[in-house]
Structure 1
Amino acid sequence: MFHFTPLLGAQSESPASQSLLELDGGVKILVDVGWDEAFDAQRLEAVEKQVSTVSIILLTHATIEHLGAYAHCCKHIPLFTNIPVYATTPVVNLGRTLLTDLYASTPHAASIIPLSSVSGSPASDASPNLLFEAPTPDDIASYFARINPLKYSQPHQPIASPFSPSLGNLTITAYGAGHTLGGTLWHIQHGMESIVYAADWNQGRENLLPGATLLSGGQEIIEPLQRPTALICSSKGAERGESLLRKDRDATLVSLVRETIAQGGKVLIPTDSSARMLELAFLLNETWREGLDGLHADTYRTARLYMATRSAAASVRYLQSMLEWVEESVRAEAEAAMTKGKGQGDINNPMDWRFIKMLERESGVQQALMRSKPCVLLASDASLEWGFAKQAVQALASDPRNLVILTEEVAAVDPLRKGLGKQLWEAWQTQTRNSSGASGAKIVSADGMTVDFRQASTAALNLDETALYETYAARQRQLHSTLQGDNTLVDPTATDVLDPQDEDESSDSDEEDEDVEHQGRALNLSAQLTQQSQKRNKSGAGALSDAELGVNVLLKGKTTVHDYDVRGKRGREKLFPFVAQRQRGDEFGDAIKPEEYLRAEERDAIEGVDMRDGSAKQNSETAAVGQKRKWGETAGPKGRRGEKQAPGNKRARTEGGKPRAPDDIDAAIARATGERGKRGGAPPTTEEGESDEDEESDYEPDDAVPSGPQKLVYESRTLDLRLRIAHVDFSALHDLRALLMIVPLMRPRKLILISGEESETQRLAAEFRKLRYGREEEGSGMEISTPRVGEVVDASVDTNAWTLKLSRALVKRLTWQNVKGLGVVALTGRLGMGVVSRQNEDEGDTNKKKKLKLSSHGREDETASKELLRPSSSDPNAKELAIPILDLPFPSTTNSSSSSLAANTISRVTQPVHVGDTRLADLRALLRSAGHEALFSGEGTLLIDGSVVVRKSASGKVEIEGVGLAQGFDEVRRAVYGGLALVAGV
C-alpha cells in the first residue's frame, strides 16, 4: 500500500514543498518542511496534524522552499523534535546558515500567531499581529545537529520515531539531484514499493555544483532508479523555454556585469543566502581572477565584489570543508592546490575567494553601496522580501546606471499583495513581451515606475495584547506537557505560592531538600515563567481558566473550590499548592549575615551604603560581603559586580544595564583592524594604488535583543525607480525538454506531478499523455496523477493484486531461501477455487468453523467462480465466500505412474534459479582475501588476475569472460554464484 498526499506546493503559486508518503503497516514519511516568504503559520497546520504519526523526515535541498519551516516546527510543534530527520551533509550545514540568516534578517520569519489560536474565536480585522517566539541561533544549531547526515548512494535503514510502528525493511538512499550543493533525489524501498522522490533536479553540471546522478554513462538510467513503482516529480519549468547552455548563460551574466561597472554603475544580484549564492559567487570570483590579466583588467580592478548575507562567512567555511560534494574538476584543482609543495609554482585554488568580500552587517552593506566606485553585490534574498537585497534596491533605485539582475522567476506567495521582487519581475516580463529585438539578455528600464512595499519591525505589547499572549502561552504549555506525557508543566503558576520576599532564601533550601526527581522539572518550569506572568498571577488568576490553573484552582480559582482530583497526576499536580516558609540557616543554627556586623568605616568604604539597613535595597552594581553572584556575572573591582557579557560580542559594554555606544577610540581601533584577514585576503587596490578598505568598516554595535513577547508592525512605503532590470536564468532546474527525455527512460509505473503552478502541471501531464499514447507498442504507458494540496493519491503497486491461500500439502514442501532479509521460494502449483462457509453473527455460535471445499482435480468450480458470495444450500443462514487456493500440481491420491509422470513434467519446466544481486565491490574484497589481484578497469568492470573480466550492466546482468586459458575462471564463477541464493523449484 502506498498513498501520497501533497501538503504544500501542488498546483499552487507557492513554491513551498511538503509531501506525505503513507506506506504499508502505518509507516509515514514526511519529505521536506518547506515554507515561502509569506511565513504563514496556518500553512503548517497539515504538518502539525500529522506529526504524531510521522515515522521519519527527509530533506532534499537547503532552500526555504524545502526546509524553511524546519526550525519553526521544532520550536512550536510538540513531538516534532522526536522524529528522526535524514539529509545529506551539505543540506544540514547550508540549511543551518540559511535559517540563521533568515531569523536574523526579519522579524516576520518568526510568523504571526493566528488570532483563532490566541482568543479561541475566528480571526477578525483587528488582529494584533502577535509573533511566535523566534528560535535563537543556538536553537537552530541544536535542531540541525539532530539531523542524521547521509552520503550519496548509501542505502540506509532508518530508525523510526517513538510513536511510529515498525519500519520493517524500509530502505532510503540519497542520490545527487544537482540544483544545490548536496541536493537529493530520494529512493525509498519498502516491500514491493520502489519510490523515487525527485523534486527540483538539474541534470546538467555547473561551475561549482555537479548535476543529477540519473544517467550512468550513456543514455541509461542508473539501476536502482529504473522502473520505479512510483515517480514523484516536480513540474516546475514546464512552461519555461529551453534553458541556455551553461557557457552561454555564464557569458551573458558576465557581459551584463562588465558593461554596467564599466559605465560606473552598480549591479545587484538577489539570490538565496546559501545554496545558489555559492554558484554565483564562484563564477564571479573566477571571472575576476581571470579578468585581472585580460583585456578588461582596469574594469575589474576598479570594481568590488560583495557577498551580503548574515551568514556569508559560515557558508564559505562550510563549502571549503565539503569538497567531496562539489564538481569533480573543482575538487581535483582544489586538492592539488592544497597539497602542493614549495617550489612547484603557483596552482590556482578555486576555493580561495580572495576577490569577494563578505558583508554580514547592515552597516557594511550601506557603506559598500555608498562608495563612489562600481561594485557587484550578491545579496539575499531572491524575493526581495527580507534580506539585504531589499535594502540594496532602495539604495540603488535613483541611479539609471545601476542594474538589478533577476536570476529566477519570483512567485507571488501572498494573494492580497505583491512583493517587491514580484513587481520587478512583472515589469521585466511586460516590457520584454511587448518588445522584439536582438537575442540575448534583455535589459529594460524602470524609469518612472513606482513600487509599493512594506517594512516590518517589532514593538512591545500593550496590556490587552499581553493578556492575549499569556493566555496563548499557557495553552501551549498545557498542550506540550499533555502530549509529552508529563503534567508537571501544565501549571504555569506553581511557583507563585512562594512569598516573593523569600524567593531568594527559599531557593537555596529547595536545592538541598527538593527531591531529585523534581529538580530538573522545577528548573524548566521556572525558566518558562516571565516577569509579566508573575505580576499577573500575583494580582489574580487573570485570563487563565480553571483547567489551566490546575491544582492552583484551590487557591486562585474564580470560584471557591474545595476539592481537586489528583488521581493520575504527577509532580506538583498531586500535592496541595502550599510550601512552608522555612527559616534560612546552616548546620550551626540561624544564618549569620556578615553585613550586620560591619564597622562604620567598613560600611562607608562600600560606596557609602549602610549595609545594616535591611530596608534599603542594594545597588545592582554593588556586591555585598558574603553575597553570591548570579550566574553569568563576574566580579569587578572594588567589590562591584561585573557586567554580563553579551553572547557572541566580545566588545559589548554596558552602562547601567544598557548598551553603551562605542567611544572614539573603539571606532578608531575597529577602522584600523577591520576584519582584514578574515574576509578573504587583502583587498584590491584602486588606480592610485591606495587601498579603499579604510572607507568601509564592519563595526556595528549589536542591536539589543528584544525581551518578552513582541508584535509585528508594518510600515507601508513607496519607491520611485530609475534603475534597469535584466533576467538571466540561474535557477538550474529541469525544463520541459529534460523532463520529456529523462522520465520516459526511468519508465515509472505511476507518475505523480507536484511543485508547480496549475498551468505548468497540466501542460506537463498533457505532454506525457501524448508521449504515452505514441509508445503503446513499447509498453511504456504509465498512470499520471496531478493531485492538489491535501488530495490523497492511491499509488500502490498492488492495486490489482489478488489474495489466495496455499494448501497444507503445498506449504509442507516449500523450502525458503533468505535473500537480503526476504524469504524467497520458487513453486509451481494448481490454482483452484475454494469456498469458505461463514455463519451469521446473530446466531452467537462461538465455535465457528471454516469449511474448505476443494474442487475436483482438473476442473474449476464454475459456480463458485461466478458467485463469490452466495447462500449455502445446506444452511440458508450461512454464506459461502469463494477464495482461490494454490495446491500441488498433481493430487496425492492418484496412482504412482501418473504422479511420477506429472513430477517429471514439472521438473523439466521449473528449474532452480539464482536470486540476489552481485556487488562488484564485495566481489573484489572477497577475491582479494583469497589471494587474487582484482582491479576496477572502468565503470561496471572488474579485472581479476589480468585474465578474467566480470562486467555488470546497468540492468544488473553479470557477465564473466576469460582470456585464453584463464586461470581461476572457475573460482571466480563460484565466487559470483556464492553471493546469490539458489532457489530450487517445488
Structure 2
Amino acid sequence: MSAYIKFTALSGARNEDPLCYLLEIDEAKLLLDCGWTDAFEPEDLKQLKRIAKQVDAVLISHADIEHLGAYPYAVGSLGLNCPAYATVPVHDMGQICMYDAYQSKSDVEDFSTFTLDHVDTAFENMVQLRYSQPFSLSGRCKGITITAYAAGHTVGGTLWKIKKDTDEIVYAVDYNHKKDRHLNGTVLMTTEALARPSVLITDSYNANSEQPLRKIRDAALVDTITAALSAGANVLIPVDSSTRVLELAYLLEQHWAFNRVQYALIFLAHQSYRTMTLARTMLEWMGDGVAQAFSQRREVPFDFKFLRTLYRMKDLEKLNGPKLVLASLSSMDTGWSSQLLQEWCEDPKNIIILPDRGLPTSMTRRLYDEWNLNAPPIQSNGLRPSVNIELDLPMTVKTKIPLEGEELAEFLAREQQRREHELESLAKQRSLIEEDESDMSEDEGEVAEVANILATGFDIYVKDQTRSGGFFKQSQSYRMFPTYEPRKRVDDYGEQIDPAVYMRGEYQYALQQAAEEEESAQGPTPMDLDRIRPEEDKIPSKYITRETNLKIRCKVMYIDFEGRSDGRSVKNILPQVAPRKLILIHGSEEATDDLAGYCAETESMTTEIYTPHVNECINVSAATNIYQVKLTDSLVSSLKVAAIADYELAYVSGIIRFPQDEIPGLMSDQTPGDITTPSGTATSTVVPILDFVPVEDQRVHRPVIVGDLKLSEFRRLLQAEGFGTEFVSGVLVVNGKIVVKRTAAGQLTMEGQVGSDFYRIRSLLYNMLAIL
C-alpha cells in the first residue's frame, strides 16, 4: 500500500540558505535537518515556528550550523518536543559546534537567543544511531523505518532512508563520492538499499561547479601556505569548529611532520581541545587511510605533534613570527576568525585562504565573490591563484570589555545589595517558620524533638530479644536510621580553610584571572577535556558596539575543501540511483534549473522532477487515489495469495456496495460522494464493502506481474544455478545469447534464442516476482 507523501521546504530551496524541510508521510511529520546561520536571527525561522509543535521526529544529517544550528533554539523556545535522530559523531560533534557558536556570540554581545541549557536539553533528546541500522519509529510515525548511511561529507554525516510500506524516500544532501584523507566516500551509488527509491530528495549546490583532483588541491594549499609563511606573512583559514576542519588539520599535520616546518600551526576555537579529543575516539567512523595508519603504523588518529589547539586570543598573541591559524567560525561574521580578519586584513602580505564559499550573506561569501571577480583564469593545474583585494566594507564591531574602576565598584555594590536582599528574604522566611514552631502544642514539640534526634549523626539501636548480652553489645546489623558523617578536610595545622570564602569581590576576580593565566601556561588538564560543557564567564563585563570601515588589503584565495561532489559527478550519480521521483533543493536558481534540465533530458532519469520554492508544499505520493474497503469472509477465502518480500498480494474480483443504512440522509439515487456540507466537503466516512462475485460471473483477467527486481540480485541467482552472466552497458547477458534488461519505463524484458535455457531463465525470473 502506498503512503500519502507531502514535502515542504521551510528553508534552503532555490537558494543556498541553511537546510530545513518538512516531510509528511500520512499523519506523521518529519523534520529533515534544522539549520540556521551563525547570526542566529529568530526572524529567519518564521516557517519553522509555524510547524515546530506539530513535528513528530527530527533527522539530522551533519554536525554543522547549516544543518542543526536552529535545533537547540527550536527545543527551548519554539516548542519542538519530539525525539531527534543522528549518528554518534553527529551528536557529539554537533554539541561541540553549538557550544562553540554560543561562546563565540557571548564573547562579543549579551547573547540570550539560546542558552547552554537549551543545547544540553536538545541533545539529550537525540537518539544516536549507527550506519545501516534500521530503526522503527513510534507514535504517529508508527510503521516508518529510518536508516542512516554514510554521506562522506563529514564524520558521521548521514544519508537518510525513510521507508513506509512500499514507499522508500532517500534524503541525500551534502554527500561526497570521493575519498578524503580521513573519510571514505558516500555509499549512495554503491549500495542496493538506496537504489530506485520512490522519492529522492537531494541538493543542487554544486551543479555548476567543477573540482580539480584532490592531489592538485592539496599541493596548491601547502604551496600557497609555504610561500606566505616564508615571506613573513600570516595565513588565516576560516573553518567550522567540528567537521570539515578535521580534513584540513589532518592534511596540514602530515605536511608539517614530513617537511619539519618550523612555523606555528594553530587551531583556534573555543572547543578546539574537545574537538580533537573526540576525533581520536571516532576511528570506526573514519576512512580506510586513518584505519590503516592506526593498525599498521600504530598512529593514534588526530594525536597531533605539530598542530597546537588554542581557545583564547591572548594565547595566540604570545606566539611570535608568522603563523597559520585555522580559526572558527567559517563565516567570519563572528568568532575568532572575525577578530583575526580585523587584525590581519590591512597587511598586504597576509593571506586568507577560503576552504568553502560560505553562506550568501556572510563575510566569507563577500570575499569569495570579490576573489571570483578579480582572479585570473584557470591555470594549467586547474586552479585560480590568489589576488590582492582592495575592499572597504562597513562593519559593526561588537566588543566585550571587563569592568574597571568606578563601573566595577558600582557592579560590586549592586551585587552586594542583591545578596543582602536575598539574605533578608531568607531571614524573614526563617522567622516565620520559627513563629509557627513556637505555636506548636506540647505533643508536636515532642515529635519535633524526636525528629531532631534522628537528624543527628548518631544511630538508634534496637535490642535483639533472641540474643543475650548487654544493650551496647548488639550486632551492627541492628542499626536503624544510618547517617553519613562527612569528615572535615584537615592538614597538619588543623581544618583547611578556603581563602575565597573570606575574600571581597575584587580579589576573587583577580584570583580567577591569575588561575586562568596559570592554566594557559600549563595547557588543559584531563579534567578539562572530560568536561564537555563550557563554564559560564563570571567576570563582570560590558558590551560595546561601534560602526567602522573595514579596509581589506590582504590576499584572498579560494581552494575547494568543502567535501561535496561537484556538478559533473552529481550528474553521473543521479542516473545510477534512478529515483522514480526527484526533488531538487539547496542550490541557487541557476544551479537548480541546470540540474533539473539535465535530468529531464537524460533518458534513464524520471520525468517527475520537482524544484519547489520556500514554503511551497508538493504532493509526491506514488498513488493519489487510494481507497479503503472491507473484505467479506467469503471473498477472503477465495483469494490466491502470492508472497513477495514482506507482503502478501492477491488479485481481487468483487462487487463494491455501500451500507446505506449506516449513512444518514443517503437517498436511493445517491452515492456517499454526493453528500456534502454547506462548504462543499464530503462528510461520508463509511468504508465500502467488497463482496464475493460468483465464479460464473467473474471475468478472466490478464496476469499482473508485481515486483521490483534488481538485475544484480537476478544475476547472483543465475550464477548460483550455473549460468554464465555479465553486464554489458547496463544489460545482463546470460550465456552470451539471452539478454535481460530494464526499459526506460522500469519494465524488465527478455530477448534471445528460444530454448530450454530461455524458459528456465524465465521461470527463475517469475519465481522472484509475484504473478496475480
Q: What TM-score range do you get, normalising by the shorter chain? A: 0.7 to 0.9
**Aligned mates of 2:197, 2:334 — CA distance in 1:** 40
Amino acid across the alignment from 1:238: A
Out of 477, 502, 526, the residue aligned to residue 428 of structure 2 is 502
Aligned: 1:351 with 2:302: yes
Aligned: 1:381 with 2:366: no
SS of alignment partner, residue 741 of structure 1: helix
Distance 1:206 1:679, change over 3 A: farther
**Aligned mates of 1:840, 1:672 — CA distance in 2:** 83
Out of 488, 509, 519, the residue aligned to residue 660 of structure 1 is 509
**Aligned mates of 2:527, 2:723 — CA distance in 1:** 53
For 1:729, the equivalent position in structure 2 comes to: 560
Q: How many residues align?
A: 665
For 1:395, the equivalent position in structure 2 comes to: 343
Aligned: 1:47 with 2:48: yes
For 1:186, the equivalent position in structure 2 comes to: 160
Distance 1:669 1:103, change over 3 A: closer
- What's the offset of the Cα at 1:174? 0.8
- What's the offset of the Cα at 1:67? 0.4
- What's the offset of the Cα at 1:421? 2.8
Aligned: 1:789 with 2:737: no
Unaligned runs of 5+ in 1: 111-129, 217-221, 293-299, 339-347, 414-418, 461-495, 510-579, 592-632, 646-652, 681-700, 853-867, 871-878, 921-938, 960-979
Amino acid across the alignment from 1:48: K
C-alpha contact 1:181 1:325 (8 A) present in aligned 2: yes
CA-based RMSD: 5.1
Aligned: 1:152 with 2:78: no
Out of 596, 599, 602, the residue aligned to residue 765 of structure 1 is 596
Aligned: 1:23 with 2:25: yes
SS of alignment partner, residue 330 of structure 1: helix
**Aligned mates of 1:662, 1:275 — CA distance in 2:** 36
Q: Deviations over 1:666-701 (max 9, x none)?
A: 688557644599999xxxxxxxxxxxxxxxxxxxx9
Distance 1:361 1:499, change over 3 A: closer
- 1:416-431 equivalence runs, <5 A: 419-431=362-374
Distance 1:258 1:139, change over 3 A: same
**Aligned mates of 1:132, 1:269 — CA distance in 2:** 28
Aligned: 1:754 with 2:585: yes
For 1:695, the equivalent position in structure 2 comes to: none
For 1:259, the equivalent position in structure 2 comes to: 227
Amino acid across the alignment from 2:112: F
**Aligned mates of 2:723, 2:500 — CA distance in 1:** 70
- 1:447-846 equivalence runs, <5 A: 447=390, 449-457=391-399, 501-504=427-430, 583=438, 587=445, 642=498, 655-656=504-505, 659-662=508-511, 673-674=522-523, 704-705=537-538, 714-769=545-600, 771-772=601-602, 775=603, 780-799=605-624, 809-814=634-639, 822=647, 824-827=648-651, 829=653
For 2:187, the equivalent position in structure 1 comes to: 213
For 2:74, the equivalent position in structure 1 comes to: 73
- What's the offset of the Cα at 1:399? 2.6
- What's the offset of the Cα at 1:409? 1.0
Amino acid across the alignment from 1:737: R
For 2:359, the equivalent position in structure 1 comes to: 411
Distance 1:644 1:740, change over 3 A: farther
Q: Deviations over 1:566-610 (max 9, x none)?
A: xxxxxxxxxxxxxx965598945999xxxxxxxxxxxxxxxxxxx
For 2:751, the equivalent position in structure 1 comes to: none
C-alpha contact 1:196 1:225 (8 A) present in aligned 2: yes
C-alpha contact 2:75 2:118 (8 A) present in aligned 1: no
Amino acid across the alignment from 1:87: A
Amino acid across the alignment from 1:757: S
- 1:878-957 equivalence runs, <5 A: 891-892=694-695
**Aligned mates of 2:606, 2:504 — CA distance in 1:** 75
- What's the offset of the Cα at 1:983? 10
SS of alignment partner, residue 387 of structure 2: strand
**Aligned mates of 1:749, 1:644 — CA distance in 2:** 69
Out of 298, 302, 313, the residue aligned to residue 273 of structure 2 is 313
**Aligned mates of 1:451, 1:145 — CA distance in 2:** 41
Q: Deviations over 1:395-441 (max 9, x none)?
A: 2223322111011113333xxxxx53343223212212799999633
C-alpha contact 2:189 2:577 (8 A) present in aligned 1: no
**Aligned mates of 1:983, 1:239 — CA distance in 2:** 41
**Aligned mates of 1:941, 1:257 — CA distance in 2:** 55
**Aligned mates of 1:914, 1:194 — CA distance in 2:** 14
**Aligned mates of 2:553, 2:6 — CA distance in 1:** 52
Distance 1:394 1:237, change over 3 A: same
Q: Deviations over 1:72-92 (max 9, x none)?
A: 2222233x2x41111011101
SS of alignment partner, residue 718 of structure 1: strand
- What's the offset of the Cα at 1:885? 6.8
Work out the percentage of aligned pairs sharing the same amino acid.
27
For 1:140, the equivalent position in structure 2 comes to: 119
C-alpha contact 2:632 2:689 (8 A) present in aligned 1: no
C-alpha contact 2:177 2:185 (8 A) present in aligned 1: yes
Out of 277, 282, 300, the residue aligned to residue 322 of structure 1 is 282
Unaligned runs of 5+ in 2: 403-421, 450-487, 676-683, 735-765
TM-score, length basis structure 1: 0.58
For 1:629, the equivalent position in structure 2 comes to: none
Distance 1:808 1:761, change over 3 A: same
- What's the offset of the Cα at 1:246? 1.0
SS of alignment partner, residue 359 of structure 2: coil
Aligned: 1:89 with 2:88: yes
Mean Cα deviation higher: 265-274 or 421-430: 421-430
C-alpha contact 2:584 2:610 (8 A) present in aligned 1: yes
**Aligned mates of 1:212, 1:187 — CA distance in 2:** 14
